[in-house]
Amino acid sequence: MTGEEFEPKILGFFCNWCSYAGADLAGVSRLKYPANLRIVRVMCSGRVEPTMVLKAFACGADGVLVAGCHPGDCHYQQGNYKTLRRVPLLERTLAQFGIHPARFRLAWISANEGQKLVQVVTEMVDEIKKLGPFPGTRSRFPELGAAAPGPAERPAAAPVPGERGAAAPAATVAAGGEAHD
């Protein structure tokens, strides 16, 4: 790079009941861990679809961490087992796309394991720093840059006729009809 050290962007999908609470504990306890992690709180790790992980990589994430309750401790009884069944398929899919296995990680982190969260995130950041930036989207589609466009950069969607705030069709207004909000 241009003289500055590469800092990976890691997207974390964290279970609301355990892993997110573990991250909160780490913060409240003032435990130090790399600031490379951006957390998306989901109600259950079983809610994380494989397409969500693929989309994270497509939008420029250098790594993805899925964290949930320990098997047998799921708030929704079977959610983390669902995750456990999906991961082998997801790992094969990532391999077919040429994504290094260290860029994706599944971790079981409970609400009282703030220190484990620090360890997992630190290890993942170190591993991804060794690999370097994820080349996927940036190398194949340089016009996308490092990430997908933000809301301000996306073209505005056309209003749907009949929805609140949509303009009335011109023919209605021209025929003496009123445009209502």
Q: What percentage of the chain exceeds 70 in pLDDT?
A: 73
Q: Domains (ranges, CATH) in the chain? A: 10-144 (3.40.50)
Q: What number of CA atoms fall less than 13 Å from residue 142's CA on the CB side?
A: 1
Token output for 172: 């209605």
- Split at pLDDT 50, 70, 90, the class of 152 is very low
How confident is the model over 67-84, as a mean pLDDT? 94
- Split at pLDDT 50, 70, 90, the class of 25 is very high
pLDDT score at 5: 87
Residue 164 pLDDT greater than 70, yes or no: no
Q: What percentage of the chain exceeds 90 in pLDDT?
A: 71
The C-alpha angle 116, 33, 54, rounded to 5 degrees, equals: 80
Residue 171 pLDDT greater than 60, yes or no: no
What DSSP element (H or E) covers 106?
A: strand 104-108
Please give the C-alpha separations between residue 71 and each of 45, 46, 67, 68, 80, in angstroms, as whole numbers. 11, 11, 11, 9, 6
Q: Where on the phi/psi map is residue 72: left (φ > 0), alpha (ψ -120 to 50), or beta?
A: left
pLDDT score at 107: 98
Residues 6+ away with beta carbon under 8 Å from 123:
none
Q: How far apart are the first and last CA of the chain?
A: 52
Residues 6+ away with beta carbon under 8 Å from 121:
10, 12, 33, 34, 36, 37, 65
- Split at pLDDT 50, 70, 90, the class of 136 is confident
DSSP state at residue 121: H
128 or 142, higher pLDDT: 128
CA distance 169 to 154: 25
DSSP state at residue 111: T
